[in-house]
Chain A
Amino acid sequence: MTDSAKLIEVLGNVKDAIDANAEYLTDLDAAIGDSDHGINLARGFRKVAEDLPAMAGKDIGAILKKTGMDLVSTVGGSSGPLYGTAFMKAGASAAGKSEINTEDFLNMFSAAIGGVKMRGKSEEGEKTMLDAMGPALRAAEEAAAAGKSAKEMLEAAAEAAAEGAAFTKTIIATKGRAAYLGERSLGHVDPGAASFAVIMKTVAESY
């Protein structure tokens, strides 16, 4: 499904997509947060992209671990430790592998979500990135079980992530800064769920 060179290409595409969506994500965060999500993530992925050339030839686990560490050290907001932990857990799941198949991908994705839950002490339904991640993983698992191609699997995940992000509009935040808004968080998309949907869409479009 993916080797190290392809992963480096995908991460470069994610950096471009986050850059292109930085204002949109920051606007979402302005409504129910502290107006920095897009700016923060763009800074993080710029650092990731800067370090990608030096990652050529490294295994997939090492590339993802470095990606996570870069995000932790440069993002500056909650998405730093959350996405950072997600990428590091995915990397640990793929340690030493120079190529992954769909089964590896599903295991990595599941480990990443476990990391976000652990780091954020959160579950789905709290209006966070998990509300996009959980449905995306389940859609990917279903597609894989149905024998779909890697691209079809990623497209299903991207669609479910977008639906999950849209769903966050209908629920009240009980985690993160937006939880202080209570019911006033209704009607707004969670910025973290939205950024994950952007990432997942970019990954799918890279295949």
Chain B
Amino acid sequence: MVGLVLVSHIAKLAEGALELGLLMAPEVPAEAAGGTADGGPGTDYEKIAGAVERVSAKADGGVLVIADMGSSRMTAEMVLEDREGCQPEAVIADCPFVEGCVAAAVSAAAGEGLADVRRAAETALGRDCE
């Protein structure tokens, strides 16, 4: 199954988005990696790298990383570049933070592959009210 890592400047935002996403898909391996090392607003490389490694150990289908903006996204990209070549693969999605998380969780729980889970996240916006 594909796993998820949620990266935000705000720890509670990452945890909250993940809580919402996992309501429909509690079996998906996932972790939130929000805030700095001391829990303040910002991004922590080690926190993200640790979350990706732990989730990837439980997610044989790979890991989808969802980041909110700015340093979250850039730092997540650096983490993924630094583990390039490691299996399973981890990729970042270009998606709305909350809706992307929900769509990715549902797609992952359905057993879809990493590319499909990423696509689900990236086309998530407005899906529930079309």
Q: Which residues of A contact B (CB under 8 A)?
A: 34, 36, 40, 72-73, 75-82, 84-85, 119-120, 176-177
- B40/A76 in contact, CB under 8 A: yes
- B77/A80 in contact, CB under 8 A: no
A85 to B74, CA, bound (A): 10
Beyond contacts A76-B42, A81-B71, A81-B74: 13 other A-B pairs, Cβ-Cβ < 8 A, are A36-B41, A72-B78, A73-B44, A76-B36, A77-B70, A78-B74, A79-B71, A80-B43, A80-B71, A81-B75, A82-B74, A119-B74, A119-B77
Smallest CB–CB gap between A43 and chain B, Å?
9
A82 to B70, CA, bound (A): 10
Interface hits, B39-86 → A, CB 8 Å: 40-46, 69-71, 74-75, 77-78
**Candidates A73, A82, A120; contact of B46 at CB < 8 Å:** A73
- A76/B71 in contact, CB under 8 A: yes
Dominant SS at the A interface?
helix
Q: Which residues in B have their C-beta under 8 angstroms from that of A36?
A: 41-42
Q: Which residues in A have their C-beta under 8 angstroms from that of B40?
A: 76
- Measured CB to CB, the nearest residue on chain B to A73 is B45
Show 9 A/B contacts (Cβ-Cβ < 8 Å), sorted by A: A36-B42, A72-B78, A73-B44, A73-B45, A76-B36, A78-B70, A78-B71, A84-B78, A119-B74
Q: Which residues in A have their C-beta under 8 angstroms from that of B71?
A: 75-81
- B70/A76 in contact, CB under 8 A: no
Q: Which residues in A have their C-beta under 8 angstroms from that of B75?
A: 72, 80-81
Q: Which residues in A have their C-beta under 8 angstroms from that of B42?
A: 36, 40, 75-77
A75 to B75, CA, bound (A): 11
Q: Which residues in A have their C-beta under 8 angstroms from that of B36?
A: 76
- B70/A176 in contact, CB under 8 A: yes
- B70/A177 in contact, CB under 8 A: yes
A48 to B72, CA, bound (A): 21
A177 to B68, CA, bound (A): 12
Q: Which residues in A have their C-beta under 8 angstroms from that of B44?
A: 73, 76
Q: Which residues in B have their C-beta under 8 angstroms from that of A40?
A: 42
- Measured CB to CB, the nearest residue on chain B to A85 is B78
A76 to B46, CA, bound (A): 11
Q: Which residues in A have their C-beta under 8 angstroms from that of B69?
A: 177
A8 to B63, CA, bound (A): 39
Q: Which residues in B have their C-beta under 8 angstroms from that of A176?
A: 70
A176 to B69, CA, bound (A): 9
A23 to B45, CA, bound (A): 25
Q: Which residues in B have their C-beta under 8 angstroms from that of A73?
A: 44-46
